[in-house]
């Protein structure tokens, strides 16, 4: 079975500051890795994903995440955040070759203050 | 495309009542999922389907039932509502069949059982 640990439940930062949201996973088989974002009162949207190839993946709005197999981590980073990045962020894994079921972490609430 | 739609948006049930949460997708996706989201707990998979006529249990299936008679629809049934089923319910869909594509989420149904 797979599990995901998001180490911080809440992360407050000031606008234009850098941020890192941490995610570690546990699995005995190969996995795919995802970050989803949930804005208030909305469903989840895919931010970025790692399937294979380059271990550094990027989103269109400036976030990036690096897959580190030895540390079983997939931390999400952004060098300069905006007020509009305020949301809850979920790290998720799915087992390769499975039914693409996602196992989610508990989420990290990012609050960007002016 | 409307994407994934869910009805109703909100519902209050009394203990012991029954209801069906509706989910429809117009993207011709094979795989569909039901998750519940509780505060600070992330999302947990209730049931999923890899095609019409095929359903399987997720992590937290007790108290729920599903059916998948068409590609588009994946209703979730609560037979005897209990306070523990107070939650936000999300339906999601994806292509499946090994493509490991994005899961698209509906806007959610907020259910309260009193």
State how far the Cα of B15 lies from the Cα of A37, in Å rounded to an integer. 33
Whether A99 and chain B come into contact, CB under 8 Å, resolves to: yes
CA distances from A56 to A53, A90, B20 (A): 9, 18, 42
Q: Tell me the pLDDT band of B98, cut-offs 50, 70 and 90.
A: low
- Which residues of chain A, if any, have pLDDT below 50? none
Please answer yes or no on whether A90 and B43 come within 8 Å at the CB atom: yes
Round the average pLDDT of chain B to a whole number and report it. Answer: 93
Q: Could you read off the pLDDT of B12-34 as tens digits, one per residue?
A: 999 999 999 999 999 999 999 99
CB within 8 Å of A8: residues ≥ 6 apart: A21, A22, A108
Asked whether the predicted pLDDT for residue B101 surpasses 80, the reply is no
Please answer yes or no on whether A100 and B58 come within 8 Å at the CB atom: no
State how far the Cα of B61 lies from the Cα of B77, in Å rounded to an integer. 11
Q: Which residue has the tokens 């309260």?
A: B112
- Residue A1 is predicted with a pLDDT of 83
Under 8 Å CB pairs connecting chains A and B tally to 56
Alpha carbon A28 to its chain centroid, in Å, reads 20
Taking CA atoms, what residue in A is nearest to B6? A43
Instruction: Using alpha carbons only, give the angle A89, B38, B58 rounded to the nearest 5 degrees.
Output: 95
Taking CA atoms, what residue in A is nearest to B4? A43
Query: What residues of chain B lie within 8 A of the CB of A96, using their CB?
Result: 100
DSSP A21: E
CA distance A106 to chain B (A): 4
Hey, what's the torsion of the CAs at A86, A21, A8, A49, to 10 degrees?
Answer: 100
State how far the Cα of A34 lies from the Cα of A51, in Å rounded to an integer. 9
State how far the Cα of A65 lies from the Cα of A23, in Å rounded to an integer. 10
CA distance B77 to chain A (A): 20
Helices (H) and strands (E) in chain B, counts: 0, 11
State how far the Cα of A103 lies from the Cα of A88, in Å rounded to an integer. 16
Portion of chain B with pLDDT greater than 70, in percent: 96
Query: What residues of chain A lie within 8 A of the CB of B44, using their CB?
Result: 104
B:53-82 residues touching chain A, CB 8 A cutoff: 56, 58
CA distance B82 to chain A (A): 23
Q: Hey, of B100, B101, B106, B107, which one would you mutate to test binding to chain A, going by the most A CBs within 10 A of its CB?
A: B100
First CA to last CA distance, chain B: 36
Round the average pLDDT of chain A to a whole number and report it. Answer: 93
Asked whether the predicted pLDDT for residue B97 surpasses 80, the reply is no
- Residue B99 is predicted with a pLDDT of 65
């Amino acid at each position: 079975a797979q599990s995901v640990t998001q180490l911080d439940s809440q992360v407050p930062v000031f606008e234009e500051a850098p941020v890192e949201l941490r995610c570690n996973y546990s699995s005995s088989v190969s996995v795919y890795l995802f970050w989803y974002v949930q804005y208030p009162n909305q469903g989840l949207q895919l931010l970025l994903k790692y399937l294979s190839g380059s271990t550094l993946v990027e989103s269109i709005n400036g976030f990036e995440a690096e897959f580190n197999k030895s540390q079983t981590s997939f931390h999400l980073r952004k060098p300069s955040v905006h007020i509009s990045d305020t949301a809850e962020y979920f790290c998720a894994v799915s087992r390769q070759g499975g039914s693409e079921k996602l196992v989610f972490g508990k989420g990290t609430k990012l609050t960007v203050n002016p | 495309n409307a994407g994934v739609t869910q009805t109703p948006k909100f519902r209050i049930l009394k203990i012991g009542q029954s209801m069906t949460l509706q989910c429809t997708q117009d993207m011709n996706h094979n795989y569909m999922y039901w998750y519940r989201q509780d505060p600070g707990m992330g999302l947990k998979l209730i049931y999923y389907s890899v095609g019409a006529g095929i359903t399987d249990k997720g992590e937290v299936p007790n108290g729920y039932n599903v059916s998948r008679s068409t590609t588009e629809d994946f209703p979730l049934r609560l037979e005897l509502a209990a306070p523990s089923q107070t939650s936000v319910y999300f339906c999601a869909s994806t292509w499946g069949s090994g493509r490991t594509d994005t899961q698209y989420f509906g806007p959610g149904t907020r259910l309260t059982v009193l």
